[in-house]
Structure 1
Amino acid sequence: MSRPLIGITAYFEAARWGSWVREAVLSPPSYAKSIERAGGAPVVLPPLNLHAIDDYVRGLRGVVLAGGVPMGADTYGAEQDERVEEAQAHRDRFELALARAAVQADVPILGIARGMHVLNVAQGGTLIPWLPEVLDNDKHGEPHTPHVIQVSVSSKLGKAVGDKIEVVSPHTQSVRRLGNGLLAVAWAEDQIVEGIELQGHRFGVGVQWHPERSQEGGPAGGTGSKLFDALVEAAR
Structure 2
Amino acid sequence: MASPLIGITTMNALRHDGLAAVSLLRRYVIALTEAGATPVLIPSAMPDDGVDALLTRLDGVLFSGGGDIAPEYFGGAPHPRIGGVDPERDALELALLRRVVEDGVPFLGICRGCQLVNVGFGGTLYTHIADQHPGALKHDYYPDSPRDLLVHEVRLKEGSRLAEIVGVEVFRVNSLHHQGIERLGDGLEAVAYAPDGLVEAVEVPGHPFGMAVQWHPEWLTAHATARALFRAFVEAARGSD
- Structure 2 length normalisation: TM-score? 0.90
Cα shift readout 1:53-73 (whole Å, capped 9, x = no counterpart): 111122111000000011110
CA contact (8 A) 1:9 1:44 kept: yes
Query: In 1, Cα distance between the equivalents of 2:94 and 2:68?
Result: 13
The letter for the 1-side match of 2:45 is L
Kept in 1: contact 2:176–2:216 (CA 8 A): no
Paired with 2:136 and 2:205, the residues of 1 have a C-alpha distance of 32
The equivalent position to 1:209 in structure 2, one of 202, 208, 215, is 215
Which aligned pairs between 1:50-199 and structure 2 lie closer than 5 A? 50-134=48-132, 135=134, 139-143=138-142, 144=145, 146-161=151-166, 162-199=168-205
CA distance in 2: counterparts of 1:69 and 1:131, whole angstroms: 15
- Partner residue of 1:8? 8
4+ residue runs over 4 A deviation? none
Equivalent-residue separation in structure 1 for 2:151 and 2:164 (angstroms):
22
Q: 1:115: how far off?
A: 0.2
- CA shift, 1:222, in A, is 2.3
- Aligned position for 2:21: 24
TM-score, normalised to structure 1, is 0.92
Amino acid at match of 2:202: I
Report the CA distance between 1:172 and its aligned residue: 1.4
Larger CA deviation: 23-32 vs 135-144: 135-144
Structure 2 gap segments, 5+ residues each: none
Q: After superposition, what is the alpha-carbon deviation per residue over 1:77-125, rounded to whole angstroms, capped at 9, x for unaligned?
A: 2343222214111111111111111111100110000000111111111
Structure 2 equivalent of residue 231 of structure 1: 233
RMSD: 1.5
Among 34, 40, 43, the alignment partner of 1:43 is 40
The count of corresponding residues between Structure 1 and Structure 2 is 229
Unaligned runs of 5+ in 1: none
Task: Provide closer, same or farther for how the CA distance between residues 51 and 80 of structure 1 changes in structure 2, counting only shifts above 3 A.
Answer: farther
Deviation string 1:121-177 (CA, Å, 9 cap, x unpaired) is: 111111111111123656122344611110123112111222111011132111112
Partner Cα distance (2:195, 2:141) in 1: 15
